[in-house]
A = this chain, B = another copy of it.
């Protein structure tokens, strides 16, 4: 089935002006313009099939990632797709171990984001040629073939090829049933109804009340109000989600599983105490409350602060400190787990070596993979398998541009072929910018429904790309002169 030689690679800088309203940012990322380096690869197979890949960025710096993609392009061009996927481990190693480019990584930051974009395009191309969505391609793949996609360098002290094979072979048991279950019910999602730092107490109360009132239960009749609430939030967050073009109301959240509140903390302790009290009072003792510090704290500060917020019973504290600080997360985890608070992190963990250590050090209780920061499906496979070995639930990070589209493939595969469990597991969902994708996510009854279109759901609408290309797209041509004045 696999055919053709890669004859062309193009990469574009696509930005959405999400920072305009000034809301929705977190403490560390104050003015995000949700963006992507968008890669398209073509072959000489003359079948009209293109592979599309993205990596997510926040505006400025997308051009740096674009530059890195161009630096990697020669590893892809003129290669037969058959040779790439036939020795995917070797190809992964080639991309990540380029004798000159390796120095400016290795396997981290800009070059690794670029690697992700390129490999995401290769997976999209492969799956399209096979006529399957990526999750299905993975589910149907022989365990030995899956293992051959993974570079085990630097993780064999925790996961060997044999370990991986054993996990995947065990995962074959009951696979068919789980696949059916996914096709019927989907993978549980949660929407971050986020209490941002800037909100006044009154706004907070109002939002909580509205959320509780509007559709966060399972009555289907309340969908329109749930939509309104989502819209209201999105508008506040300045995500410019003026509509939900791909969601009919039948597809909107209908399940109390969605009723999770995430509160941003870390700026001022007294303020956090008051806000958490308001939210807990409003939502009651049973509903799930999560906290997110967006890397604001040093280690002692995280422990002290969260010890004081423990009485509000958060499920987890997300990103309490530097994403590089494995031992720091372990210290925080050791202090907070006895208080009933788990540690969640991962969206900025830069490679499998970091995840390996977080698991070894018992430094997290919820592992948040990201589809565009690690080296595509290949590296995420290794992380899913390590998480399985340590029995740590994976709760993917999503949102941004296209992160939901991509990560659903990984987590659906994880359930069917690796974890075989939904316990303590949910996949983040944010409802914005999906309208720019050709195959947007489908949410039904608060769940990600398995995509049916071939590929990795990464293809953007050409019209959207053209309009939002930076700095020459129509949107930016209008905005840039205005910003300069």
Contact of A59 among B100, B107, B295, B324 (CB under 8 A): B100
Tell me whether A60 and B324 are in contact (CB under 8 A): no
Question: Are the C-beta atoms of A157 and B298 separated by less than 8 Å?
Answer: yes
- What CA separation (Å) do A356 and B361 show in the bound complex? 16
When chains A and B are docked, how far (Å) is the Cα of A103 from the Cα of B32? Answer: 9
Query: In the complex the two chains form, is B29's CB within 8 Å of A104's CB?
Result: no
- Interface membership of A78, Cβ < 8 A: no
Contact A61 B357 (CB under 8 A): no
When the two chains form the complex, which single residue of B111, B322, B356 contacts A64, counting CB atoms closer than 8 Å? B111
Is there a chain B Cβ closer than 8 Å to A475's Cβ?
Answer: no
We find that the number of chain A residues with CB closer than 8 angstroms to chain B is: 65
Task: Say yes or no: A100 contacts B157, CB within 8 Å.
Answer: no
Using Cβ atoms and an 8 Å threshold, which residues of chain B touch A25? 99
State the oligomeric state as a number of copies.
2
- Interface positions of A from 316 to 331, Cβ below 8 Å from B: 321-328, 331
> Cβ of A156: which chain B residues have Cβ within 8 Å of it?
298-301
Is A275 an interface position by the 8 A CB rule? no
| Minimum Cβ distance to chain B for residue A193 (Å) | 23
| Contact between B99 and A28, CB atoms less than 8 A apart | yes
From 70 to 86 in chain A, residues with beta carbon under 8 angstroms from any chain B beta carbon are 71
Contacts of A360 in B (CB 8 A): 327
* A350 interface residue (CB < 8 Å to B): yes
B64 touches A68 (CB 8 A): yes
Find the B residue at minimum CB distance from A97. Answer: B28
Residues in B whose Cβ lies below 8 Å from that of A321: 154
Q: Does A353 contact B (CB under 8 A)?
A: yes
Residues of B within 8 Å of A432, CB to CB, are none
A167 at the interface (CB under 8 A from B): no
Instruction: Report the bound CA distance from A110 to B157 in whole Å.
Output: 29
Measured between beta carbons, the chain B residues less than 8 angstroms from A298 are: 152-157
Residue on B nearest A299 in the bound complex, by CB: B157
Asked if B29 contacts A103 (CB within 8 A), the reply is: yes
Tell me the bound Cα distance from A348 to B351 in angstroms: 15
Contact A57 B157 (CB under 8 A): no
Q: Mark A140-174, 1 if CB is under 8 A from B, else 0.
A: 00000000000011111100000000000000000
Q: Which residue of B lies closest to A35 (CB)?
A: B100
Please pick, from B31, B100, B110, B324, the residue contacting A351 in the complex, using a CB distance under 8 A.
B324
Is A461 part of the contact surface with B, judged by Cβ < 8 Å?
no
* 25 A–B contacts, CB within 8 A, in A order: A25-B99, A28-B102, A28-B106, A29-B103, A57-B100, A57-B103, A58-B103, A61-B68, A61-B103, A64-B111, A67-B67, A104-B109, A106-B348, A107-B324, A109-B109, A109-B112, A110-B110, A153-B298, A156-B301, A157-B328, A324-B350, A324-B357, A325-B356, A326-B327, A327-B360
Binding site for B on A (CB under 8 A): 25, 28-33, 56-61, 63-65, 67-68, 71, 97-113, 152-157, 295, 298-301, 321-328, 331, 348, 350-351, 353-354, 356-357, 360-361
A64-B71, A104-B110 given; 4 more Cβ-contact pairs under 8 Å: A29-B99, A60-B98, A60-B101, A156-B300
